[in-house]
Amino acid sequence: MLNISNIQHFSVGDGQGIRTTVFFKGCNLRCPWCHNPETISPEKCLLKYQNKAKPEVCGRQTTADEILPELLEDKIFYETSGGGVTLSGGEVMLQAEAIVELCQKLKQNNVSVLIDTAGCVPYNYFEKINGFITGYLFDFKTANSEKYKQIGGNLQLVSENIQKLIADNIVVRIRIPLIRDFNADEKSIKDICEHLKSIGITEVDLLPFHRLGVAKYNAMGLDYAYKDQPPLSKAELKNIEQQYAKYFKVNIER
């Protein structure tokens, strides 16, 4: 069974082209800036929005056969835009065993599949699905092992997984969330650049922090630690982009 929270059509920020994104529930990291708090726990949760009469139930068990028809509805858009299906979360790789069938069926239908992951799982999880997908959108948080521990991650495991994927000729697209007071200062940037360069990375995507998740935290009755954190200014973003450009080809989400 697949444990999912939502299926979002016409996504344009989850890989190349027009995509349908399936969000999976359950995550083994605890990033305080997370903008999908409803996907952190594998359990069902309620979102009580002030402008909606009924609470929104988040979380359902489903199967590959049940959701495949919906994912194939937009196949014409995938084909014309170079898009496909993205599996995201939460941490979709925690359900690696369960998503094998879905990835197989999508490949059989000539639909590109990308996995959005933070990569904090054993490599054999990746090996289960590597043969059925187009590649990984790999979120890399920091080159500081202690900071990774603070959010429940493991820098060594993440780095080794990236290297193994590259060695196995799997497409890995590194995506770096830009978080003030965590990884957006000059030392953190330099450390990240040197670390990623040392493990064979040549291109990165930069994802500026945003506060679009505030409404979800409010609807869940949770306090959002980053609710008062201002987004990085245009000048700050340009400076960060220039620093990364010394090491990599850089794409930045606008």
Q: Quick: pLDDT tens for 172-212.
A: 999 999 999 999 999 999 999 999 999 999 999 999 999 88
Residue 69's pLDDT is what? 98
Residue 124's pLDDT is what? 98
The pLDDT of 105-109, averaged and rounded, is 98
Distance between CA 162 and CA 172 in Å, rounded?
7
Domain chopping of the chain, boundaries: 7-34+67-212+231-252
The pLDDT of 64-72, averaged and rounded, is 98
User: Over 80: is that where the pLDDT of 169 sits?
Assistant: yes
Distance between CA 113 and CA 44 in Å, rounded?
26
User: Over 90: is that where the pLDDT of 86 sits?
Assistant: yes
CA dihedral of residues 8, 9, 14, 18 (deg, nearest 10): 180
User: Over 90: is that where the pLDDT of 114 sits?
Assistant: yes
The pLDDT of 146-161, averaged and rounded, is 98
Residue 212's pLDDT is what? 85
This model's pTM is above 0.85: yes
Residue 79's pLDDT is what? 97
Residue 20's pLDDT is what? 98
Q: Which residue has the higher pLDDT, 254 or 100?
A: 100
pLDDT grade for 254, boundaries at 50, 70 and 90? confident
The architecture CATH gives domain 7-34+67-212+231-252:
Alpha-Beta Barrel (3.20)
Q: What is the mean pLDDT of the chain?
A: 96
The pLDDT of 10-29, averaged and rounded, is 95
Query: pLDDT for 209-245, tens place per residue?
Result: 998 889 999 999 999 999 999 999 999 999 999 999 9
pLDDT grade for 13, boundaries at 50, 70 and 90? confident
